[in-house]
Amino acid sequence: MRYFLELAYDGTDYHGWQIQKNAHSVQAEIQNALSTLLRQPTEILGSGRTDAGVHAIQQFAHFDTDQALGETDFVKKLNGILPPSISIARLIPVTPDAHTRFDATQRHYIYRINREKTPFLRNFSYYNFHKLDVIQMNKAGEILLNHQDFQCFSKVHTDVNHYLCDISEAMWKEETYYNTKLLVFYIGANRFLRGMVRAIVGTLLNVGNGKIGLEEFEQIILSKDRKQAGWSVPAQGLFLAKVEYPYI
């Protein structure tokens, strides 16, 4: 039988989602816990990868087992084995051909910028006190919706067949979290390239602080050159927020 796990994690102490030699990963922690609970080696495959220090509010992974599992009891036991930085929300039985990566239709990320320094958000937001023109940044976000090739925002030497993404949302919102002012970027697409969101945010910040204008922002996209885009903002402000499937 195949099952989906809906999960969340604090990525602060991990070298990303994917298993790596001599590195602490989220995938490895979950696989070890599953293997212990099921009493047999069990591998999982996630809906996507997150880099070191990046968090997930909602992530999915699937695994196969010949055991019939009860959701409530299984989730409780698995959470009891996992460290406090990882939590399981749901166990979902699916068809044998269901796939967390290939079946996902939309992925949504948020990036949080902390406008007022506080020690309580240091691992979950990027502190930036500079004055930013949010209106211009949102106009630049609208420009993203008019394009599909985002090679300029991709990490170089990435093994992909193409750089096309259909962005459905790109918007900044000002929010308050525990009496702290945040600037939050919401972005959704059918797929994302490696490093894409952090590079987009860094380039949008250059728009917000007046370093580049809207026309220049669009020319950066058309250039397909990563060197033309802005810097990659710190990982701790980035969250995988939602993954959508047609059958969940």
* CATH code of the domain containing 184: 3.30.70.660
pLDDT at 83: 98
Angle at alpha carbon of residue 205, lines to 200 and 207, rounded to 5°: 100
Residues 231, 138: one domain? Answer: yes
Give one word for 159, left, alpha or beta, with left for phi > 0 and alpha for psi -120 to 50.
beta
Q: Can you give the pLDDT at residue 157?
A: 80
For the question of residue 51 being annotated catalytic, the response is yes
221 φ, ψ (degrees, to nearest 5): -60, -45
Catalytic residue among 10, 13, 51, 149: 51
Task: Answer yes or no: do 116 and 218 share one domain.
Answer: yes
Q: How confident is the model at residue 177 (pLDDT cuts 50, 70, 90)?
A: confident
- Domain presence at residue 100: no
Give the percent of the chain with pLDDT over 70.
100
**Last-in-domain residue among 61, 94, 127:** 94
- The pTM score is 0.96
CA distance 246 to 248: 6
- Mean pLDDT value across residues 33-37: 97
Average pLDDT over residues 133-152: 98
Asked if residue 117 and residue 89 are part of one domain, the reply reads: no
User: Domain of 35: which CATH number?
Assistant: 3.30.70.580
* 101 within domain boundaries: no
| Same domain (yes/no): 120, 228 | yes
Give the span between the Cα atoms of 83 and 229, in whole angstroms.
38
